[in-house]
Structure 1
Amino acid sequence: MAFSELLDRVGSLGRFQVLQSMALVMPIMWVATQNILENFSAAVPGHRCWVPLLDNGTALAGTPSALRPEALLAVSIPPGPNHGPHQCRRFRQPQWQLLDTNSTATNWSEAATEPCVDGWVYDRSTFTSTIVDKWDLVCDSQALKPMAQSIFLAGVLVGTTVTGQASDRWLPESARWLLTRGKVEQGLRELQRVAAINGKRAVGDALTTEVLLSAMQKELSVSQTPTNLGNLLCTPGLGLRTFVSTLCWFAFGFTFFGLALDLQALDSNIFLLQVLIGVIDMAAKIGTLLLLSCLGRRPMLAASLVLAGLCILANVLVPYEMRSLRSALALLGLGWIGGTFTCITIYSGELFPTVLRITAVGLGQMLARGGAILGPLVRLLGIHNPSLPLLLYGAVPVLSGLTVLLLPETRGLPLPDTIQDIQSQTVKKATHDTRGPSVLKSTQL
């Protein structure tokens, strides 16, 4: 009897596994909400330069009473790129000639302007306080906002590495892992506890150390094989899988956090957008999980990455005035990226043997965190060309999706336990491809 059969007997999908999943989902939900909180805590409110005529009570008292605030604003702040008051410049002196209805652009365009040397006035109608207005992260300091987001995500990476070890204090250890480490008695107690929680106490009581050792013969022999990161990169058959899977992990983190942490760029209601992202992301993950068993891992991962990239690239061609269409394309792109996470999580676990699976998945998740750190920084390229960030956010998943076609399909195949299992699968595939139509013909018969 193999160890997988033993797990089926004590309950491979029962009350114990449900409780485990719930224990993991709760902290993950808190982490997810904390990541997206930047959209609100770091929102950029509307702002303009502080000017004496409007914001200094003494100066305002000396102006003609007939002038309305709009007129005082027009003579104090030049128009900005969006045809509203400029957010980062002001006139050195009030331009009273602009009150003349016959004035033209040349009447003020040649007038000397200066930066907001006295600070800014912020619109607090939506957000009463954010880190942007607290520390004036606007104009020449606007690059500090994406840098702060990247530093936060870097802290998440460090925290994940440090606190990962602490999670063993409250999560039960894998019985398979305990047995491969020679802790037979402890592994037996864990299996008996799983059987009891799943309502199969009699099966658990019947387990003995002899039964466990017999079921673990293959795993115990595999555990003696030295494995490290070099095996993932240098072993024939594994190097390509490692490169493509880590590239897909990177594309997910890079694109998702690059877009999801800058919802204001869509110039729509960010509260509504955030709700829609949550709904679409959950629907995409559930739908992808159902389609994986029908369409396979490779086509689903490739399609989700490519379609996400195409939706993002399409926004480069959409005018900024078409806000609804831009928001819809961005939501579709983020939905496909959410589906990518489901695909790559399952697919990467099936691509690698048991002895290297945790190492491979951990490496991929580290690359995803690296992509998340880099994603917000790419927005700084928008200073030179507003389309550059979108081009990168779209091109990376498209290229990653195309490389997925180099991977083998794993749907319906047993999980490989050793490096030799991977190599034997590669040999069988090569033999299958060499025979070509004759193999397909014999299979049909």
Structure 2
Amino acid sequence: MTFETLLEEINGFGPFQIIIITLLVSPRIVIPCHFLLNNFIAAVPPHHCDLSTLDDGEVFSNLTEEQRLAVSIPAGGDGVLKSCEMFAEPQFLLLSNSSSSTDPLTLQCQSGWVYDNSTFTSTLATEWDLVCDRKSLTKTTSTIFFFGVMFGAIAFGYLCDKYGRRNTLLASYIMVIVFGFSSAFADSYILFAILRFFTGFGLAGISINSVVLSIEWVDTGHRSFIGVIGSLAWSVGNMLLAGFAFLVTDWRKLIVTVTAPLGFAVLTWWWIPESARWLLANGNAEKAQIYLDKCATFNKRHKLSRLKVETLSNIEILEKQGKNYTYLHLFRTPKMRQLALLSGIVWYGVASTYYGISLKISGFGLNMYLTHFIYAAIEVPAKLMIYCFLNIFGRRVCQAGTLILTGSCIAVNIFIPQDLWHVRAVIAILGKGLSEASFTTVFLYTTELYPTVIRQNALGYTSFMSRLGVSVAPLILLLEDVWTLLPQIIICSVAIVSGLVSLLLPETLNAALPETIDDVEKSGKNPNISPAEESLDVFLQSKSSTSI
């Protein structure tokens, strides 16, 4: 007897499962809105030095705004006025196209900056003057945020396996709401950075919890569908962010706007069930029976007998008795250790490649809102494509294929001349779509590889490796100053190597989810039998020998 057997009796994909998916959509839409929020709230609008210190009240005051800028701010080699420098004194000779025999003295902006507010009413840059010598601080907020996501993945991975998916999901909701709204009212850069760290920390809990809770309630045949639906929620949120940012041009109001949907998520949390798999694996057969009965009622099936549920619970907790699972269990046994190392490399490669490409692809000559929307929309066909292929070619082939093809697209672009920009753009967009397909695959693949008793810890660990890849991606792009092609070569190599590594992972297509570490360690003895079936065989054999 396996959990899949119970699900088949009460319908593993009926109205009950559809309700769960629906309730988890709104929080998953919030995730990309916050992950990519820095593109808008940290945008640096055109700016120049405040010229008030140069106003002598006579000649200068009679000039037009264009003339004041011309005589006060030096121009670069491209003829564009510099953003961070000003003349020590107005150069009126420039109005008559005359030039001085000596270079005029220039200074750093003395009285702050004047910003172009035609696109943004307010951003972090305009709020705290994060420009010129302080411009790196706008990028730092994103790094701090992803550090929060990184450590949140580790923390919530442990808490979810110890205290359950449902309770920690609520804790994640509340944490993001509190720190998300608080960051919108921060009165200093340091306070804002701290609040963004804890917002990212909470979002990590929503990310890993919503995926696992969805997949653990559906049957084997619909796991890929659930994985893709959850991934499509990311694309929807990504596209909505472009619309939100276009309508709300103040950074404080924009943060409130993208955080607000979690209020609805908290209200609907009361209808979200705990994972029956987790309850059974932790010996709580009575509570699991309640949720399984609700599932049967919603799906219009007969309720399961108490004996079946208790029997399955006893089987599943056999290995867990007397154990408190931690991240160390990912590396204590041979096959779990191999699985952790390989999946960690794959997650690092997937994230580093995806964000490396996303940050490198240039726009289409459109405004930033439309460009952001198009980039998000491109991911949708990629996800639908991978959904079709996952059940045809399997998880392992899809994971390896998308990564290797992504690396190939980057490699091809290295040799295409710059003047063939339209060809380069098509290949770059194809690469981005493939990298998103690899991200969609790895979420589903990972939940199927690890056993229930430690699945959340595993997702916490792999999410940590993913955020490590996200943090490194911008640093890789900085190597362009060393050699123009070096970032592309590194990202290409990472994609291909991680793709080859994924070929070493076991296939999980149509296989029952492993419940215990013992299921993983015993897998592979017979390639035609799933881990759960092997465990069942051992159990039945022991019962048979006892009877004899």
- When the two structures are superposed, what TM-score results if normalisation uses the length of structure 1? 0.79
Deviates most, 351-360 or 340-349: 351-360
- How many residues in Structure 1 have an aligned counterpart in Structure 2? 418
SS of 2:507 mapped into structure 1: coil
Whole-Å separation in 1 of the counterparts to 2:523 and 2:341: 18
Structure 1 residue identity aligned to 2:374: L
Task: Give the one of 108, 118, 125 matched to 1:115.
Answer: 108
CA deviation after TM superposition for structure 1 residue 196, in Å:
0.3
Measure how far apart 1:317 and its partner are.
7.2
Other-structure match for 2:19:
19
Task: Report the alpha carbon displacement of residue 385 of structure 1 after superposing the two structures with TM.
Answer: 7.0
Map 1:163-174 → 2, pairs under 5 A: 165-167=167-169, 170=270, 171-174=272-275
**Rg larger in 1 or in 2?**
1
The one-letter code of the counterpart of 2:69 is L
* 1:406 Cα offset (Å): 2.8
Residue 134, structure 1, aligned to residue 235, structure 2:
no
Local SS of the residue matching 1:360: helix
Counterpart check, 1:78 vs 2:176: no
Task: Tell whether 2:393 aligns with 1:295.
Answer: yes
Q: Which amino acid in the other structure matches residue 396 of structure 2?
A: R
User: TM-score by structure 2 length?
Assistant: 0.66
Q: Contact between 1:39 and 1:261, CA under 8 Å: does it hold in 2?
A: no
Aligned residue in 2 for 1:341: 439
**Most deviating of 86-95 and 338-347:** 86-95
Deviations for 1:261-307, whole angstroms, at most 9, x for unmatched residues?
78888875211122112212232222212211122222221232233
Corresponding position of 2:50: 50
Q: In the alignment, which residue of structure 2 is the partner of 1:220?
A: 317
Q: Which residue of 2 aligns with 1:89?
A: 85
Secondary structure of the structure 2 residue equivalent to 1:221: coil
Deviation, 1:28, is 1.0
More moved, 38-47 vs 163-172: 163-172
Amino acid at match of 1:281: E
Q: 1:442 maps to what in 2?
A: none
2:150/2:463 contact within 8 Å kept: no
Gaps of 5+ in 2: 161-166, 171-268, 528-548
Instruction: Choose which of 273, 282, 286 in structure 2 pairs with 1:185.
Output: 286
Task: Give the distance between the partners of 1:320 and 1:427, measured in 2 at CA.
Answer: 53
Match 1:249 to one of 335, 338, 347: 347
Cα distance in 1 between the residues matched to 2:397 and 2:77: 44
Distance 1:262 1:352 in 2: 33
- Cα distance in 2 for partners of 1:266, 1:375 equals 22
Q: Is the 8 A contact 1:143 1:380 kept in 2?
A: no
Opposite residue 12 of structure 1, the aligned amino acid is G
**Structure 1 residues 287, 148: closer, same or farther in 2, change over 3 A?**
same
| TM-align CA RMSD | 3.7
CA distance in 1, matches of 2:125, 2:422: 26
State the distance in 2 between where 1:276 and 1:122 align: 28
| Cα distance between partner residues in 1 of 2:358 and 2:111 | 33
Equivalent in the alignment of 1:148: 141
1:225 deviates by 7.8
Partner deviation per Cα, 1:18-63 (whole Å, 9 max, x = no partner): 11111112111022212222221111111222335xx86x447414
Farther off after superposition, 290-299 or 75-84: 75-84
> Is the alpha carbon distance of 1:179 and 1:351 closer, same or farther for their aligned partners in structure 2, counting shifts above 3 Å?
closer
Q: Match for residue 209 of structure 1?
A: 306
The structural deviation recorded for 1:215 is 3.9
Contact persistence 2:351–2:439 (CA under 8 A): no
Q: Relative to structure 1, is the Cα distance of residues 359 and 326 closer, same or farther in structure 2, using a 3 angstrom cutoff?
A: same
Do the aligned partners of 1:268 and 1:327 also contact (CA within 8 Å) in 2? no
Q: Structure 1 pair 75/399, CA: closer, same or farther in 2 (3 Å)? A: farther
Q: Is the contact made by 1:16 and 1:197 (CA closer than 8 Å) also made in structure 2? A: yes
CA contact (8 A) 2:278 2:453 kept: no
Q: Which amino acid aligns with 1:293?
A: N
Report the CA distance shift for 1:349/1:359 in structure 2 as closer, same or farther (over 3 A): same
What are the residue-to-residue correspondences of 1:372-383 with 2, within 5 Å? 372-376=470-474
| Alignment of 1:411 onto 2:413 | no
